[in-house]
Amino acid sequence: MKNESAYSRAIFETEQVSFPEEFAIITAYNPNGIGHTVEGNEALNRLLKREIYHRHHSNCCLFEITGKSACGSHKEPGWGIGCSLGEAIDLGGLF
């Protein structure tokens, strides 16, 4: 992975105070490395949230979480979701 070291140094911000035993962090920003406008990324993030609710019928732990670079120059909102790795890969693959 090209940016593996950057990903391993990511910092996550959330107001969530407790977490499920198993969860994933998923983002819909800039899918496939394609840059989008702020509005485009926000629309994709809303679509991801709807897809999570559609698949899990609101029966999962879902919380907002933002990943950012260690230096703070890049921020990317996403969702923390209580789910298996397989479910997370399926959801992430949609975006």
Question: Which residues share a beta bridge with 66?
Answer: 13, 77
Q: Rounded to an integer, what distance in angstroms lies between the CA atom of residue 59 and that of residue 56?
A: 6
Residues ≥6 apart with Cβ < 8 Å to 38: none
- Decide: pTM greater than 0.85: no
What pLDDT does residue 71 have? 86
* pLDDT tens by residue, 27-64: 888 766 667 788 998 999 999 999 998 887 566 789 99
Q: Rounded to an integer, what distance in angstroms lies between the CA atom of residue 66 and that of residue 52?
A: 17
